């Protein structure tokens, strides 16, 4: 039987999340599918999907699809950012900046752009879907919604997780009565969970963030950011996390929605170089470096429209480039450990990660 810290970690992960192994598959909007999440949950981890890019009823359908595929706990992720304010002048200048890139692929930028994302911050329909469907776990990303919405979800019996990239954010999560903090290190792929997208960002590593949080935060902590194998999992659990969240590690699973170009990029030497960019979506996100990041984001570019508004233009350019056969403008979100991704079915990958974790913790 496990004793000491490691034993408490395993007990806490099971008690909190209902999972046999302390491994969470990250939600990854647009990439994580109900099939992927169900395979992970059925294999003993916590599978996740995001409904952030879906309207309320499409989100409901995704939740029901996942629930039909597993009787184990699962996680539904939503964005909680404050909606972006339209600015016609900024948006027009940005579209003019993108025009030469569209022209390269024989396309034209859209005449206007708008926010393509929903946020729990103000989307009443999304809130009602969560309250009616009552998924076992909901995770919050890109900030926190109004307290009344947090309270409503808790009163519905939903376990709440929320991302934090700093001690200050983690303390806000704790003060809001949220059950678990997801400590997102700067190594994490995809959108940075900072509450204030224009504020200072310490860009702490997941390990440094964990060290800070364990001294000042009383709620359980999940570690996220660049974690790819069982040794990484054992490492962050030894630092006080109750579970590890892995995203990029699951992208090459056949159950993910990653397209062939994404899979090819992640399996190539290009995966060794990732960086943050704001120019694709309007909010900082880490991905494999490409022309969109380097050329569109070159020094001196005009102000980027708000999150979701910029992504409308970004997705249009991604589609135009893809139609012309170029993957160089795609949002290949990936963490710093991307080159270590493995192409395995989700359940098999979870078993491998679990075995690696047990082997690694025996040497700690």
On whether both 147 and 293 belong to a single domain, the answer is no
pLDDT of residue 13: 79
On whether both 2 and 46 belong to a single domain, the answer is yes
Largest Cα span, the chain? 64
Asked if residue 151 has pLDDT above 50, the reply is yes
Domain count, the chain: 2
pLDDT of residue 255: 98
Which residues are CB-neighbours of 182 under 8 A, at least 6 positions away?
139, 161, 162, 163, 164, 193, 221, 222, 224, 245
Residues 346/255, Cβ–Cβ less than 8 Å: yes
pLDDT of residue 363: 85
On whether both 133 and 90 belong to a single domain, the answer is no
Asked if residue 364 has pLDDT above 80, the reply is no
Taking only the tens place, the pLDDT of each residue in 304-363 is: 999 999 999 999 999 999 999 999 999 999 999 999 999 999 999 999 999 999 999 988
Report the CATH number at residue 42: 3.20.20.70
Average pLDDT over residues 202-206: 97
On whether both 204 and 160 belong to a single domain, the answer is yes
pLDDT category, 10, cuts 50, 70, 90? Answer: very low
Question: In this structure, what are the phi and psi dihedrals at residue 37, rounded to the nearest 5 degrees?
Answer: -60, -40
On whether both 30 and 170 belong to a single domain, the answer is yes
pLDDT category, 4, cuts 50, 70, 90? Answer: very low
Average pLDDT over the chain, rounded to whole?
95
Domain for residue 363, yes or no? yes
pLDDT category, 9, cuts 50, 70, 90? Answer: very low
Other Cβ atoms less than 10 A from the Cβ of 238: the count is 15
pLDDT category, 14, cuts 50, 70, 90? Answer: confident
Domain for residue 331, yes or no? yes
Asked if residue 110 has pLDDT above 60, the reply is yes
Residue 195 Cα distances to 3, 82, 172, 212, 304, angstroms: 37, 9, 10, 18, 18
CA count, 13 A, side-chain hemisphere, 71: 0
- Give the predicted TM-score (pTM) of the model: 0.95
Domain for residue 262, yes or no? no
- How large a percentage of the chain has pLDDT more than 90? 93
Per the model's pLDDT, the better-predicted residue between 251 and 2 turns out to be 251
Domain for residue 257, yes or no? no
On whether both 126 and 202 belong to a single domain, the answer is yes
Average pLDDT over residues 89-109: 98
On whether both 108 and 136 belong to a single domain, the answer is no
Domain for residue 222, yes or no? yes
pLDDT category, 178, cuts 50, 70, 90? Answer: very high
Which residues are CB-neighbours of 166 under 8 A, at least 6 positions away?
194, 201, 202, 204, 209
Domain for residue 258, yes or no? no
Domain for residue 261, yes or no? no
Taking only the tens place, the pLDDT of each residue in 40-56 is: 999 999 999 999 999 99
Structural domain that includes position 201? 1-81+117-252+342-364
- How large a percentage of the chain has pLDDT more than 70? 97
pLDDT of residue 15: 85
On whether both 298 and 160 belong to a single domain, the answer is no
On whether both 94 and 8 belong to a single domain, the answer is no
On whether both 134 and 202 belong to a single domain, the answer is yes
Taking only the tens place, the pLDDT of each residue in 242-269 is: 999 999 999 999 999 999 999 999 999 9
pLDDT category, 155, cuts 50, 70, 90? Answer: very high
Domain for residue 263, yes or no? no
On whether both 146 and 248 belong to a single domain, the answer is yes
On whether both 46 and 131 belong to a single domain, the answer is yes
Q: Which long-range contacts (CB under 8 A, 24 or more apart) does 231-234 make?
A: 231/356, 231/357, 231/360, 232/337, 233/22, 233/23, 233/353, 233/356, 233/357, 233/360, 234/357, 234/360, 234/361, 234/364
């Amino acid at each position: 039987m496990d004793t000491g810290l490691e034993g408490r970690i395993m007990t806490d992960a099971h008690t909190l999340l209902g999972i046999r192994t302390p491994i969470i598959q990250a939600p990854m909007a647009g990439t994580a599918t109900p099939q992927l999440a169900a395979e992970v949950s059925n294999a003993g981890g916590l599978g996740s999907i995001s409904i952030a890019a879906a309207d309320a009823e499409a989100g409901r359908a995704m939740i029901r699809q996942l629930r039909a595929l597993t009787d184990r706990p699962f996680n539904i992720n939503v964005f909680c950012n404050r909606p972006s304010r339209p600015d016609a002048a900024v948006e027009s200048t940005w579209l003019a900046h993108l025009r030469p890139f569209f022209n390269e692929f024989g396309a034209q930028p859209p005449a206007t752009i708008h926010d393509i994302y929903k946020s729990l911050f103000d989307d009443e329909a999304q809130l009602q879907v969560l309250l009616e469907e009552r998924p076992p776990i909901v995770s919050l990303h890109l900030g926190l919604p109004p307290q009344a919405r947090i309270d409503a979800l808790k009163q519905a019996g939903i376990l709440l997780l929320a991302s934090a990239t700093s001690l200050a954010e983690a303390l806000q999560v704790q003060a809001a009565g949220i059950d678990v903090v997801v400590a997102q290190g700067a190594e994490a792929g995809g959108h940075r969970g900072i509450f204030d997208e224009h504020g200072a960002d310490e860009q702490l590593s997941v390990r440094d963030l964990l060290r800070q949080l364990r001294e000042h935060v009383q709620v359980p902590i999940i570690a996220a950011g660049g974690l790819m194998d069982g040794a990484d999992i054992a490492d962050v659990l030894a630092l006080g996390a109750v579970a590890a969240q892995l995203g990029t590690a699951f992208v090459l699973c056949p159950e993910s929605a990653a397209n062939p170009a994404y899979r090819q990029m992640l399996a190539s030497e290009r995966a060794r170089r990732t960086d943050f960019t704001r120019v694709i979506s309007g909010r900082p996100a880490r991905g494999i470096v490409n022309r969109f990041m380097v050329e569109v984001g070159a020094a001196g570019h005009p102000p980027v429209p708000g999150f979701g508004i910029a992504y409308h233009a970004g997705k249009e350019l991604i589609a135009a480039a893809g139609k012309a056969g170029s993957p160089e403008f795609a949002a290949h979100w990936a963490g710093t450990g991307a080159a270590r991704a493995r192409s395995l079915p989700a359940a098999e990958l979870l078993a491998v990660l679990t075995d690696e974790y047990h082997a690694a913790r025996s040497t700690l």
